[in-house]
Each structure stands twice: as structure tokens, then as C-alpha cells.
């Protein structure tokens, strides 16, 4: 761990400037609003280590695949979310000396991310070699209310000198991605000009052909003059700026304000980008910075009303969960069904910003429970829109008859991951998409989604599983060969228990959904049958045969499910036996050594037991948890949350708490020594799950909410809000009671530790936990 941030319930605070921490802080203090986001780069010149990053949702570049040995079926490219033109840029110099804390003495440095309001602030005093000191105070935000608007306020105060100030506030289109496979730049200039007081820059991505426009307005009110200073407008290729020159006296503050609008060809035609950007900018400028800030605070207040989790008695745990919820809320807002959630969100370039199975397995429940159902529905519609590409992807690998294999990594439906053991073998991702449909339906009761979109997806996935299973004569059962499970420290294995179980469940669930749609939505069924050419009898008969004869490896003596065949042939070492200098093993061991070890990167069998816990008795879950948890090194960010949930269910409160801290503070405390690359956005949803499904014990069983709470010893109480079937419930748990109040107009039954209680609108239900 690398702890350097102060703990606070609502703030992320960095005090003192340590250049070695700056890349980490750029990730941790990132801002976003669903439409765009950026790392916490400094506005002014900084020549120290920095990963410049401004990212626009859905804008990508198909970077040519770079592999040592090409294999049939490999994707042609890796889709990368691009570092977009830099609109926050500012340059300042006093009497020819530039403000650049990369080589200045810095004192009284304080950087604060106010998660309650979505505002990033920074202040410091910097000294030049000649002893001149300047005080700097900055504030910026990306508007949640006007998603194409960002705003900055930047104050300068010369503390012990008077001098001539030159300031340049600019947009720079000459940017690059650090992860470019061949070092090329991904943007070409289209136009740079001005419309009245607004300078703007238009750029186009190479190959993918997206166009974006950034327009900016700035003002400055020198303290010696009540009138606004008039800037000189500078325009050159890929660059526009406002240039100011004036004298500033010692102790007098100079305030700069910069507002930018960002439009893309995803939302407007290319010939409208500049006029739209300038028009949107003009409306924001008319409102003014203070009004924009007020809107920001109000918008975040509404966000927190439905998504906040309050923990009393543990400030570290409280800060951790709010940090995770903050990033989830600012990464994906659900306004566009063509967008999804990248593992790093708007905080870095790693993973290309593309979509993984993380969305369905971890993120969907958060959005289901904290915002209106259309947001979560759009995540499912995203996959429906990519069904054609999934069928094409399966066809490339030799599958036929409408079988669909969804990509491991995508941004537009095409596979763009190029490691064979992942691209070809980590096929459990298909099952996660099917499970997400099931999860959505049981939470919302919206089975019409099946008739509109979901059933076509399930048919394509089930056709894939039907062809992917192989009948084994020696075993007289159906087996699954050559796969990689969630534990990516095992490749090309046979009969991964999780994959086999998930695949057979998908077949069974699809058959159930076929019956539902035929009975309840017969007109839709006729349309679906015509589209899919579905053979009801032949296909479902084969599926039934498979699901009744699937080989699921287990060890009867130990009473556990085997992660895969041969797992017990490995030397059984425990994670606790590793020396500290060997951790994480993926940064210290050879890949050969990792593959031969029994060490587990992330929950695998336990992932399946989490998904399907109601299929197994508690003792079975306990035996498997007790066996696999000590062998798990948690070197995937997605691992600790699953362990926390299962540990809570089993009553292992201390283990659950330690796993929760690890998942909630994974980035804040840099557990895996990689936060400089960006935050683990999708695993942050797992942190929410660890609290709500873990310590809150919330489940949806047969269309009804159940709670079986277990609080960590340190916590005085836990409170959270859940949206369920169009009703809002506020749940508060302490040592002795659970209180539930519904804000809605319908009566419902709630289960607490398997006992049913009626819940009436506006009336608080209070159940004594010690009495149960």
C-alpha cells in the first residue's frame, strides 16, 4: 500500500507536493460527467512526470494490433479511447519567469476533490530561484447539468513582488496517447478559428473519422482595473489561445475564468460542431461561472440522495465507499445506449477505455439500485445493438447458425483483444451477459425487455454454448475444453467449473424465457422466430440434453468444486506463504511459474457461488470458500468484493471487513501499485456490492427483497438507499435494529432474516435484530 492521502468523509485531500505521487494523484482526483472526463492534470505548465488525459465518451481510434505471432481470429485493431485536445491549458510568466512547479520550490500545497459537489480545488505557494513567491488557487469542474461544459477559475497573487504578467489560456490539439502501439498521433486538424469572443478548434480522428470541436471563453479582471482585460486572440494550426499582458502589484489577486464547450460528431453533424459548441458555450457564459457552479452542486446533491451510503464509526470505510460511488456516478450517466463503462473510465488509457464483462457482472446492480431503470436498461440495450457483431465474431471462430460470442473487449461490438488465451478462451463473458438480463428482470420486474431485446441475445448466446460443449465418450457427459475462467492465472484448461455451470444455467434460463415470451408476448415471439430462424424443438431438445449431462468437476473427499480438471495436481501453496517482496506475483514471477502454481488471481469458483448462491446449501459455499480464499492473491481488482459478500454470508465478519477495505481503498491506498495508470472504475461497483449485498445482506428472491445484515465490529451504523420496482427504500442498520422506510405509493412485503414484514408507504418499519 502507498497511503499519502488524508481521510475525510466527503473529501479526498493531498497535503504537501511530492512529485513521486503526482501520477497517482492525477488518477485519483480525476473528473467526469458521462460525456467527457479528465485526469487531474495541472492547468499551468508542468514539466514533471504527467500522463495528460482528456477523454470523450465513445470517441476512439482503431490502433493496429501489435502481436508477435498472428493467429486466425485475432482482431485487426485495439480500440483506444483517445487523449483529446487539451482545453484546460494555461501558461503564466512574471517578468519572463514561467510558473512551472516542476522546477520551483512548492509550499502549502493542498489538492482537494470535493466528492459531495464534484469540484476539484488546488492551492499552493511557489517560489522562483530569485525568491519571488506566488500564491495560486484553482477550482474546476465538469458540469453534470450541462454535459458539454467544463469550467475553471484560476487565481494568482504575487506575495512579495510586483511585476509584468503574461498569461495564455489555450486549447491545444497537438496531443498524443502514451499507449500508442506505433508511436503515432491519432488526431488531424480540421479547423481553428473564432466566433466573436470564442476561439474554437476542430479535430478529426484518423481512421475512425470522429470529429470534435472545443470552444473556449476566458475573462480576466485585474485588481487595478474594474474592467475586464482584453486578450489578444492567437490562432495557429491545432492551437487557439487568449493572450493577456498587464502589470500586477504585490498582494493583489488576479482572477482568470475559463469556460469550454465540447461537442462531438456522435451527437451532431460535422458541419454543425463549431456552431453548436459556440452556442452551448454562449449560454453557459451568459449564466456565468457562479451559476454553473451552483448547478453543479445541486446536481450532485440529487445524485447523492439516491446513491449515498453512510457509515458511522469508520471514516476510512466511509471515505472509501463515497470515493467509489463518486467515480461510478461521474463515469456513466446512462443518457446514451451506445456508451458503456470502461475499466478505467475517464482516469487513464489502460485497457483502451473499452467495455469488458465487468459491466454486466459488477456494474449493472449499482445502476439498477441507485437510478431509474432506463439507465441500467441502456447497458443491456448496448449489448443488443452489438448482437450482429457478436454473431460475426463467433463465425470468425468457426461457429454457425446464429451463435453469438460477445467480445472480451469492445467499444463498437467488434472484438479488439489480442491475447489468444483471452480472446478465444475467456468465453465466460457470454454467460455474464445472460446473467445480467436475469438480474435486470428480477430487480425491475420488466420482462417485456425479453420480448423487445433480451430473448434474441439469449438465443445467440445459447447457440454458442450448445456448439462449444463437446460430448465426451469416456465421461458420457458434455465437457468444455480449452477455456480460461475468471482466474486468468490459468489458461487453456478443461472443464472450468464456473464456465460449465454458467453455460448450462444459460441454456436453462433461455428455455424458460422462450416459454415466457411465447405465452405472454406471442406477436413478439413470431417476430423473433422469423429473425432468428429458431428451431424450437430441435434446439431446445439439444439444450435440455446438454444441461442435464454437463460435467462439473468436483472432489467428493474435500467436498469442493474443482476450479478445473487437474487443479489439485498443483503444489498447494497458500497466498499467506508468499514473501512480501514477491507480491504482486504478476510483477515478480514469470508467467510460466504463475501458470504452474495454484494461486488464484480472482474469484473463480467463488464467482459462480456468488451468482448462484441459492442453488447450493450453506455448507457447500463454506467449504469452497474455506478452500479457495487462502489460495487467492486478489491481483484482480474484481476479486475482493466477491470474497467480502460471501464472507458476510458465512458470518466471517473480520474477513469480510478486510476484503471490503481492500476493494474500497484499492486505488486510494494503491494496493496493486498501479493507480498511476488510472482508477479501477468497474471494480468500484463491487465495493457497493460488498456493502449492500455483503454487510446489508440484500437479495432479491422470488420478486421480493430480503435482508440479512451483518455489521463490522467497528461500525456504529450503516445506511443506504435502494430503488426497487419504482419505489425508493431507505435502510438503516445498527447493532440492534434494521429500519426500512419506503417512499412510494405501494405496500410491499420485506423479509429480514427470512421473516416477512409488511412495509407501508411513508411508515418506518423497525425490526429488532437481536430478537431474530
- Residues carrying an active site annotation: 488
Q: Which of 718, 759, 763 is nearest to 737 (CA)?
A: 718
Residue 122 host element (H or E): strand 119-127
d(CA 653, CA 643): 11
Residue 389 host element (H or E): helix 387-396
Distances (CA, A) of 734 to 312, 385, 488, 652: 9, 44, 39, 18
Residue 193 host element (H or E): strand 187-195
Residue length, the chain?
772
d(CA 503, CA 608): 11
Is residue 241 left, alpha or beta, with left meaning phi > 0 and alpha meaning psi from -120 to 50?
A: beta
Output the 3-class SS for 71-117.
CCCCCCEEEEECCCCECCCEEEEECCEECCCCCCEEEEEEEEEECCC
Given the C-alpha cell 519571488, which residue does it identify? Answer: 132
Given the C-alpha cell 463518486, which residue does it identify? Answer: 326
Distances (CA, A) of 461 to 501, 505, 546: 14, 12, 14
CB 601 within 8 A of CB 635: yes
CB 179 within 8 A of CB 82: no
Q: Which residues pair with 98 in a beta bridge?
A: 93
Is residue 769 left, alpha or beta, with left meaning phi > 0 and alpha meaning psi from -120 to 50?
A: alpha
d(CA 444, CA 723): 9
The set of cell numbers assigned to 392 is 460475426
d(CA 268, CA 761): 44
Amino acid at each position: 500500500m502507498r497511503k499519502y492521502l488524508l481521510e475525510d468523509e466527503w473529501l479526498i485531500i493531498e497535503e504537501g507536493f511530492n512529485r513521486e505521487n503526482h501520477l497517482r494523484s492525477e488518477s485519483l482526483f480525476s473528473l467526469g460527467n458521462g460525456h467527457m472526463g479528465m485526469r487531474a492534470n495541472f492547468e499551468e505548465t508542468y514539466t514533471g512526470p504527467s500522463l495528460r488525459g482528456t477523454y470523450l465518451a465513445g470517441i476512439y481510434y482503431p490502433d493496429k494490433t501489435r502481436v508477435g505471432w498472428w493467429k486466425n481470429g485475432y482482431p485487426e485493431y485495439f480500440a483506444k479511447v483517445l487523449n483529446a485536445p487539451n482545453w484546460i491549458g494555461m501558461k503564466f510568466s512574471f517578468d519572463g519567469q514561467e510558473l512551472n512547479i516542476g522546477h520551483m520550490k512548492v509550499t502549502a500545497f493542498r489538492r482537494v476533490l470535493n466528492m459531495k459537489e464534484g469540484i476539484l480545488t488546488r492551492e499552493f505557494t511557489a517560489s522562483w530561484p530569485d525568491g519571488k513567491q506566488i500564491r495560486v488557487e484553482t477550482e474546476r469542474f465538469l458540469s453534470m447539468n450541462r454535459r458539454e461544459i467544463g469550467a475553471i477559475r484560476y487565481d494568482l497573487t504575487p506575495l512579495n513582488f510586483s511585476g509584468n504578467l503574461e498569461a495564455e489560456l489555450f486549447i491545444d490539439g497537438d496531443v498524443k496517447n502514451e499507449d500508442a502501439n506505433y508511436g503515432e498521433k491519432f488526431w488531424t486538424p480540421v479547423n481553428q478559428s473564432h466566433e466573436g469572443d470564442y476561439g474554437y478548434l476542430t479535430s478529426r480522428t484518423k481512421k475512425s473519422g470522429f470529429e470534435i470541436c472545443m470552444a473556449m471563453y476566458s475573462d480576466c479582471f485585474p485588481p487595478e482595473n474594474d474592467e475586464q482585460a482584453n486578450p489578444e486572440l492567437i490562432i495557429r494550426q491545432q492551437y487557439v489561445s487568449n493572450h493577456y499582458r498587464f502589470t500586477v502589484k504585490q498582494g493583489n489577486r488576479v482572477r482568470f475564468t475559463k469556460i469550454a464547450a465540447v461537442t462531438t460528431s456522435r451527437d451532431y453533424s460535422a458541419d454543425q460542431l463549431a456552431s453548436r459548441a459556440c452556442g452551448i458555450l454562449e449560454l453557459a457564459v451568459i449564466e456565468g461561472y457562479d451559476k454553473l457552479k451552483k448547478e453543479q452542486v445541486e446536481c450532485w446533491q440529487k445524485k447523492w440522495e439516491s446513491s449515498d451510503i453512510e457509515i458511522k464509526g469508520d471514516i476510512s470505510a466511509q471515505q472509501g465507499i463515497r470515493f467509489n460511488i463518486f467515480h461510478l456516478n461521474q463515469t456513466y450517466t446512462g443518457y446514451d445506449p451506445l456508451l458503456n463503462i470502461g475499466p478505467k473510465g475517464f482516469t487513464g488509457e489502460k485497457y483502451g477505455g473499452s467495455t469488458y464483462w465487468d459491466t454486466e457482472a459488477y456494474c449493472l446492480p449499482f445502476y439498477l439500485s441507485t437510478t431509474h431503470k432506463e439507465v441500467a436498461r441502456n447497458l443491456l440495450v448496448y449489448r443488443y445493438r452489438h448482437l450482429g457483431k457478436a454473431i460475426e465474431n463467433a463465425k470468425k471462430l468457426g461457429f454457425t447458425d446464429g451463435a453469438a460470442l460477445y467480445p472480451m473487449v469492445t467499444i463498437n461490438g467488434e472484438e479488439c483483444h489480442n491475447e489468444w488465451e483471452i480472446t478465444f478462451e475467456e468465453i465466460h463473458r457470454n454467460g455474464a451477459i445472460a446473467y445480467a438480463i436475469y438480474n435486470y428482470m428480477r430487480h425491475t420486474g420488466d420482462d417485456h425487455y425479453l420480448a423487445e431485446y433480451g430473448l434474441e441475445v439469449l438465443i445467440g448466446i445459447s447457440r454458442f454454448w450448445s456448439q462449444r460443449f463437446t460430448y465426451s465418450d469416456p465421461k458420457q457427459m458434455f465437457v468444455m475444453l480449452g477455456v480460461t475462467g475468471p482466474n486468468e492465472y490459468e489458461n487453456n484448461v478443461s472443464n472450468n467449473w464456473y464456465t460449465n455451470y454458467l453455460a448450462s444455467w444459460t441454456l436453462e434460463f433461455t428455455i424458460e424465457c422462450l416459454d415466457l415470451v411465447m405465452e405472454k408476448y406471442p406477436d413478439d415471439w413470431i417476430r423473433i422466430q422469423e429473425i432468428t430462424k429458431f428451431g424450437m424443438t430441435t434446439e431446445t431438445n439439444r439444450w435440455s440434453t446438454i444441461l442435464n449431462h454437463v460435467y462439473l468437476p468436483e472432489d467428493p473427499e474435500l467436498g469442493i468444486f474443482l476450479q478445473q480438471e487437474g487443479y489439485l495436481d498443483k503444489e498447494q501453496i497458500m497466498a499467506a506463504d508468499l514473501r512480501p517482496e514477491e507480491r504482486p506475483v504478476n510483477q515478480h514471477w514469470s508467467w510460466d511459474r504463475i501458470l504452474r502454481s495454484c494461486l488464484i488471481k480472482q474469484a473463480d469458483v467463488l464467482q459462480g457461488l456468488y451468482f448462484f448462491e441459492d442453488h447450493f446449501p450453506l455448507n457447500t459455499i463454506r467449504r469452497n470458500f474455506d478452500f479457495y480464499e487462502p489460495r487467492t492473491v486478489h491481483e484482480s481488482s474484481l476479486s475482493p468484493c466477491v470474497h467480502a459478500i460471501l464472507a458476510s454470508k458465512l458470518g466471517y465478519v473480520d474477513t469480510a471487513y478486510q476484503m471490503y477495505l481492500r476493494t474500497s481503498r484499492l486505488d486510494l491506498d494503491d494496493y496493486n501499485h498501479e493507480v498511476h495508470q488510472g482508477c479501477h472504475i468497474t471494480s468500484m461497483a463491487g465495493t457497493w456490492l460488498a456493502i449492500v449485498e455483503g454487510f446489508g445482506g440484500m437479495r432479491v428472491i422470488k420478486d421480493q427483497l430480503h435482508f440479512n445484515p451483518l455489521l463490522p465490529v467497528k461500525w456504529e451504523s450503516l445506511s443506504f438507499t435502494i430503488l426497487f420496482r419504482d419505489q425508493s427504500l431507505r435502510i438503516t442498520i445498527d447493532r440492534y435494529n434494521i429500519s426500512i422506510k419506503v417512499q412510494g405509493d405501494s405496500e410491499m412485503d420485506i423479509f429480514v432474516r427470512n421473516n416477512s414484514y409488511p412495509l407501508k408507504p411513508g411508515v418506518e418499519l423497525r425490526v429488532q435484530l437481536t430478537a431474530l
